[in-house]
Amino acid sequence: MKNSLLLCGALLLGTSAFSQTIFSEDFNAGTTLPTGWAQYNVDGLTPAATMAFMGTNAWVGYLSTDPTQGNMMTSTSWYTPAGTSNDWLVTPAIVIPATGSFQLSFDIQGQDPSYLDSYEVYISTGGNAVANFAGTPVISAVSTGAWEKKMVDLTPYLGQTIYVAFRNNSTDKFRLNLDNVKVRTVLPVDAKLNSVNVVRYAAVNTNNTLKASVTNEGSTAITSLTINWNDGTDHSSVITTSIAAGQTAVVNHPTTLNYATAVEKNLTVNITNVNGGTDGDMTNNSGTAKINTLSQLPEKAVVVEEGTGTWCQWCPRGAVAMDYMYSNYSKFIGIAVHNGDPMALAEYDAGANFSGFPGCNVDRVILDGTVSQQAFETYYNDRKDLVVPASIGATVAISGANVTINAKATFKTPISAANFRLAVVIVENNVTGTGPGYNQKNAYAGGASGPMGGYENLPATVPAAQMVYNHVGRALLGGYNGQAGSVPATVVDGTEAAYTFNYVVPATSNRPNMTAVVMLIDQNTGEIINAYATALSSLGASTLTESINMNVYPNPTSENVNVSFEATGNDYAITMYDLQGKVVKTQDYKNLDGAQTIELGVSDLSAGTYLISVATEGSSFTQQVIVK
């Protein structure tokens, strides 16, 4: 908890040209209300069941879904029954010096872009009770789904003690988030480098633009910036721009980054001049970034972990969206993370940490995302073509209920301080049950909420006998964050990190309906960098593929696929499976010998990833094929 009250700010102003912060709170020390702050739950309403973490509080500390934001304060307007929020959060007393120029700033965000909370900001000189904020708010606005920095001129309050109040006044929306409340002096010229953005991973011989997010924290408009980035060599340029006082802009550096080989570069970035002269505060002008170029571009899979529960009446929306994505997108991997029902896996539910249901985490970068077919498509299209540092693969060996998964990540770039782990999630389809916990609540009954994949024709509580649950997360191998020591701390281009995971299929599960999802997880950010799914069907995924010189082509394909291999005078079965282990095509061949090429028609199959097995005398050999 950083709560800084520099009451001697007036004296400091006379001895330094730098900007002075006289009050600052970033809420990062915990989930409780910071010392000296006050909150008022004026509405007295009860949060919705999935907002139970709020208790009776108007505002509570909560971890932001943006990893750069850290902890924050959050307020809800989602009540049962619906009502209008009147929740207040008030700062301690802040003494504004009698001379100088001062500004209030804060970051604010609506948690869900589809349900944006409105808010008001008040300033009082008479005290911190709600009654003291009876005047006109200094800000009255509707939040956006992105973090915004808001600023208020405090010139009218020179020489006074003030209290600042943040009020959530929304009706039946979701959550309002607040962070980084600050009061500081304003210099005539003050450019702040907020962040530096350059693609983390890129192909060799490609131009990559360095983008600098700059806030004008001064009182004079910024018309030009001199920005230098250094990767061992200076690249300085004067950039014409237009950033009004209090505004933020993204500035592109004209000198692109381009490397001919697979390398790792650490970048330092500095604003060296503003408007052709010296910046008033040079302490906030520096930043760093890193870029790696790759010798090859691995295929990227997008992982959506969907928070769901049979008790959740809106959660059928997630099941319908997941099925749609699997049917139409080959690089989509969806996992249903259950909460509060017989399919819940406590470790998975806790790790995903959904604040509401249905919800979703996308590659563990987009957290608490919206659940719908449209949202899933947007997330998928935004992330499917990202450049990632490693390809992921796995082979599977099966002996009865015992499954051995040999997971590997093959890196295509050098990384000097790699902090990755391999993990496996076991997923099961066609899950059924007979107890009341398998009854599915259904808000779409009767069609009043529109069509929803057939749920509109089912009752408000769908009996367990009519329910089949797919994509159910059953086990975490290596834990939620992955297996420690599974990836070395230093990798070079071509390094293959491998780890063997063992799993015993429970008697209550059906192995042919199960899939192993192998993940590479960045421990610095929590991001799922890449993933790979392989079925735990009877075919396994043999390491002996090369022993029959098996090849599958063209790949991807849309009409036909050729399966070539070397036969040895035996009988062979060629079988094609989807990733849920379901057989979609199979054909037996007698007494094959020598080089074989067998054509399979696939134009009748839905787009997606499939496994093709060539099996003989108890051995099977498998490769993936993508049908477009």
Q: Are 389 and 294 in contact (CB under 8 A)?
A: yes
SS3 364: coil
Chain length of the chain: 628
Please tell me what DSSP assigns to residue 340.
S
Q: Are 319 and 336 in contact (CB under 8 A)?
A: yes
The pLDDT tens digits of the residues spanning 90-128 come to 999 999 999 988 999 999 999 988 899 999 999 999 999
Q: What is the pLDDT of residue 425?
A: 98
Angstrom distance (rounded) from CA 392 to CA 496: 10
Which pLDDT band, with edges at 50, 70 and 90, does 541 fall under? very low
Whether residue 232 sits in one domain with residue 173: no
Could you give the number of structural domains in the chain? 4
Answer yes or no: is 597 within a domain.
yes
Which pLDDT band, with edges at 50, 70 and 90, does 620 fall under? low
Q: Are 436 and 520 in contact (CB under 8 A)?
A: no
Whether residue 138 sits in one domain with residue 43: yes
Q: Are 360 and 329 in contact (CB under 8 A)?
A: no
**Weakest-pLDDT range from 223-237, 263-277, 575-589:** 575-589
Answer yes or no: is 86 within a domain.
yes
Q: What is the pLDDT of residue 552?
A: 86
Answer yes or no: is 126 within a domain.
yes
Q: Are 537 and 428 in contact (CB under 8 A)?
A: no
Whether residue 254 sits in one domain with residue 228: yes
Q: Which of 323, 282, 563 is nearest to 429 (CA)?
A: 323
**Weakest-pLDDT range from 7-16, 124-133, 148-157, 230-239:** 7-16
The CATH number given to whatever domain includes residue 506 is: 2.60.40.10
Whether residue 333 sits in one domain with residue 464: yes
391 Cβ neighbours under 8 A, 6+ residues apart: 298, 299, 409, 410, 412, 530
The CATH number given to whatever domain includes residue 118 is: 2.60.120.200
SS3 627: strand
Whether residue 42 sits in one domain with residue 17: yes
Angstrom distance (rounded) from CA 426 to CA 471: 9
Angstrom distance (rounded) from CA 169 to CA 45: 13
Which pLDDT band, with edges at 50, 70 and 90, does 618 fall under? low
Angstrom distance (rounded) from CA 390 to CA 393: 10
Q: Which of 341, 331, 327, 337 is nearest to 373 (CA)?
A: 327
Whether residue 513 sits in one domain with residue 381: yes
Q: What is the pLDDT of residue 542?
A: 40
What's the mean pLDDT when you consider all of the chain? 90
Whether residue 286 sits in one domain with residue 411: no
β-strand pairing of 302-308 with 332-338: parallel
The pLDDT tens digits of the residues spanning 358-380 come to 999 999 999 989 999 999 999 99
Whether residue 137 sits in one domain with residue 16: yes
Answer yes or no: is 541 within a domain.
no
The tokens for 569 are 């005078």
Q: Which domain holds residue 49?
A: 3-185
Q: What is the pLDDT of residue 512?
A: 85
| Per-residue burial over 543-571, b = 16 or more CB atoms within 10 Å of its CB, e = otherwise | eebeebebebeeeebeeebebebebeeee
Answer yes or no: is 354 within a domain.
yes
Q: Which of 613, 549, 563, 566 is nearest to 398 (CA)?
A: 613
The phi, psi pair for 378, rounded to 5°, reads -65, -50
Q: Which of 233, 217, 140 is nearest to 182 (CA)?
A: 217
Q: What is the pLDDT of residue 404?
A: 92
Say if residue 245's pLDDT is above 90: no
The pLDDT tens digits of the residues spanning 489-525 come to 999 999 999 999 999 999 999 888 999 999 999 999 9
Which of 251, 268, 294 lies at the terminal end of a domain, its last residue? 294
Q: What is the pLDDT of residue 611?
A: 81
Whether residue 476 sits in one domain with residue 383: yes
Which of 155, 185, 215 lies at the terminal end of a domain, its last residue? 185
Which pLDDT band, with edges at 50, 70 and 90, does 399 fall under? confident
Q: Does pTM surpass 0.85?
A: no
Whether residue 407 sits in one domain with residue 270: no
Distances (CA, A) of 98 to 140, 162, 164, 453, 553: 27, 13, 18, 65, 77
Whether residue 307 sits in one domain with residue 255: no
Which of 151, 185, 219 lies at the terminal end of a domain, its last residue? 185
The pLDDT tens digits of the residues spanning 174-229 come to 999 999 999 998 889 999 999 999 999 999 999 999 999 999 988 899 999 999 99
Answer yes or no: is 200 within a domain.
yes
Angstrom distance (rounded) from CA 42 to CA 498: 56
The CATH number given to whatever domain includes residue 554 is: 2.60.40.3080
The phi, psi pair for 467, rounded to 5°, reads -105, 135
β-strand pairing of 201-203 with 286-294: parallel
| Per-residue burial over 304-342, b = 16 or more CB atoms within 10 Å of its CB, e = otherwise | bbbbbbbebbbbbbbbbbbebbbeebbbbbbbbbbbbbe
Q: Are 180 and 106 in contact (CB under 8 A)?
A: yes
What's the CA dihedral at 432, 433, 437, 440 to 10 degrees? 40
The pLDDT tens digits of the residues spanning 285-317 come to 999 999 999 999 999 999 999 999 999 999 999
Whether residue 55 sits in one domain with residue 37: yes
Q: What is the pLDDT of residue 547?
A: 57
Answer yes or no: is 540 within a domain.
no
